[in-house]
Amino acid sequence: MKKHILIVGGGFAGINLIKSLKNDKRFKITLVDKNNYHFFPPLIYQVATSFIEASNISYPFRKLFSDNKNVKFHMGSLVKVIPEDKTIETDTGSLSYDYLVLAMGTESNFFGMENVRKCALPMKSIEEALYLRNHILLTLEEAARNKDINEAEKLQNIVIAGGGPTGVELAGMLAEMGRYIAKKEYPEIKLSFSSIYLIDALPTLLSPMSRLAQETAYEKLKELGVKILLNVSVKDYVDSKVILSDGKSIETETLIWTSGVIGREVHGLPEESTGKGRRLMVDAYNKVQGTANIYALGDLCLMISEEKYPKGHLQLAQVAIQQGKNMAANFQRIEDGKVLEPFRYNDKGSMAIISKYNAVVDLPKHSFKGFIAWLTWLFIHIIPLVGFGNKIQLAIDWFRLFITNNPSIRLILFPKRNTGNGQ
C-alpha cells in the first residue's frame, strides 16, 4: 500500500518536499493550500510597488505537478487536525493521512495592537501586495487632487514599520519610485511635502546581518531621502496618526507593516506542541512534539536541538528548502528501514537589495556590497523561481525596468462581479 503524505502549505518547504518525492512510487502525496499557486515571498515587495507582475513570481500547483500521477492538489484552508483519527478538517472537506506535514508558514504579528491590525497594510500574500499597490496608487491620485498642504503631506507620507530585509528593500524601492516616477508623472504633487519613514525598535537596520550590511543600508537609504528612526517602535495607529514609543507621532494614510510574524494557528494539537511565536516545537527530525506521524517544516516549526541554533533557526527560505529536502529523504529512509538523518542547516548566507545597483550580501565567511552584490542578488532570486517561463520573463522585465526606471503596470484594478447593468 502506498503511504499517503498529506502536506498543508505549498511554500518553499512543501514544494521542495514534493519535488524530492514526486517520482517515488511508494508514496501518494496530497498538497493542501488555500491558494491554487505557489509564490516567491522575497519578491513580493516588487509586486506591491508596481515593479513586476504577480504572475512573475507565481505558478499554479496543478500545472507544476501535472506530470506526476502520485501528486494531487486540494484547495482549502486547514481548520483542525484530528490526530487520533489521522485526519484533518479543511473548509472544503476532510482528508486522511499516514504522514501529516504542516508547512503553512507565518502571518503578520501585530503584537496585540488592535488599531494597527485593522488599519495597517501587511505584505505577506499576493492579495495583500496587490491591495497595497492599489492603496499607494490611489493615495497618489488623491494627493494630486488635494490643494490642502497639511492633507497633502499626510497623503504623501509613508511609514514602514520594520527594518529587516523586507522593510529596507521596500523603503529603497518606494524612494526610487518617488525619484524617477512620481516626480515625472505626478507634476501636481509637491514632493517636498512627502516623506518615507523606516522605523525599527532595534538600534540597527538588518539586525541579523553583518555590520557592513547594516551600515550600508543605513547610508544608502539616507542618501535616497528615507527618514530612519531606530530604537523606537509603533505603539498605536489612531486617526491617521502613527503613535511612536517616544511619544511622537506621524500623520499618514499609509502604515506598511513588516515588523514581525507569528506562526499560523493549528487547532487540534497538544498544548505542548506550540512554542514561542506560536511555532510548532519539533525534534531533530521535524516531528511535532507530543504527536505521532505529524511533522512541521519551515517558518512554522521551532527546532532547538541543533547546537548552533539553540533558539531555533531564522525564518528564512533556505531553512525551509533544506528542511523539505531532508524530510523527503527521511520518509524514504523510513520505508527502507534505515536510520533517520537529523536536520542540519547549511547556512548559505543572506542578502538584501537597497536601491538600484546597490545590495548587500553576507556569505558565511565574507560580506560585500555594491554592484556585484546587486548582480548576485538578482541571480540568486531568479534561481528558485518555479517554472522556466517565470525566470526568463522576470530576467527580461528586470533588465528593461532597471534601465528605463519606468515600469508600466501601475494599474489600479478592482476585481468585481459584473452585475449586468453595464456599469
- Residue 50 has a pLDDT of 87
C-alpha span between 244 and 234 (Å, rounded): 5
Name the pLDDT band for 423 (thresholds 50, 70, 90). Answer: very low
Nearest to 232 by CA among 195, 196, 204: 204
- By percentage, how much of the chain surpasses pLDDT 90? 73
Cβ atoms within 10 Å, residue 179: 16
C-alpha span between 347 and 40 (Å, rounded): 20
- Residue 406 has a pLDDT of 66
pLDDT in tens, 22-49: 999 999 999 999 999 999 998 899 899 9
**Residue type at position 259:** S
C-alpha span between 87 and 82 (Å, rounded): 5
- Residue 415 has a pLDDT of 65
pLDDT of residue 419 exceeding 60, the answer is no
**Strand ranges (DSSP E) for 91-248?**
93-96, 99-102, 106-108, 121-122, 158-161, 196-200, 227-230, 234-238, 241-244
C-alpha span between 252 and 121 (Å, rounded): 12
Residues with Cβ within 8 Å of 176's Cβ and at least 6 positions away in sequence, in order, are 224, 355, 356, 405
Contact 193, 143 (CB under 8 A): no
Torsion of CA 39, 40, 45, 49, to 10 degrees: -60
DSSP code at position 273:
G
pLDDT of residue 8 exceeding 60, the answer is yes
Range in 64-68, 151-155, 266-270, 337-341 the model is least confident about: 151-155
Summarize the confidence of residues 112-141 as an average pLDDT. 94
pLDDT of residue 408 exceeding 70, the answer is no
In the predicted model, what is the mean pLDDT of the chain?
A: 91
- Residue 422 has a pLDDT of 42
- Residue 267 has a pLDDT of 98
pLDDT in tens, 194-220: 799 999 999 999 998 999 999 999 999
pLDDT of residue 335 exceeding 80, the answer is yes
- Residue 399 has a pLDDT of 73
Is pTM beyond 0.85 here? yes
Domains of the chain: 3-108+261-336 (3.50.50.60), 114-259 (3.50.50.100)
Q: What cell was used for 2?
A: 502506498
Contact 351, 369 (CB under 8 A): no
Tell me the torsion sign for CA atoms 321, 326, 327, 329: positive
Name the pLDDT band for 177 (thresholds 50, 70, 90). Answer: confident
pLDDT of residue 221 exceeding 80, the answer is yes
pLDDT of residue 191 exceeding 60, the answer is yes
pLDDT in tens, 223-239: 999 999 999 999 999 99
C-alpha span between 361 and 365 (Å, rounded): 11
pLDDT of residue 190 exceeding 90, the answer is no
Name the pLDDT band for 248 (thresholds 50, 70, 90). Answer: very high
Through-space distance between the first and last CA atoms of the chain, rounded to whole angstroms: 56
pLDDT in tens, 287-315: 999 999 999 999 999 999 999 999 999 99
- By percentage, how much of the chain surpasses pLDDT 70? 94
pLDDT in tens, 49-107: 988 888 888 999 999 999 999 999 999 999 999 999 999 999 999 999 999 999 999 99
Contact 323, 343 (CB under 8 A): yes
pLDDT in tens, 339-380: 999 999 999 899 998 988 889 999 988 999 998 998 888 778
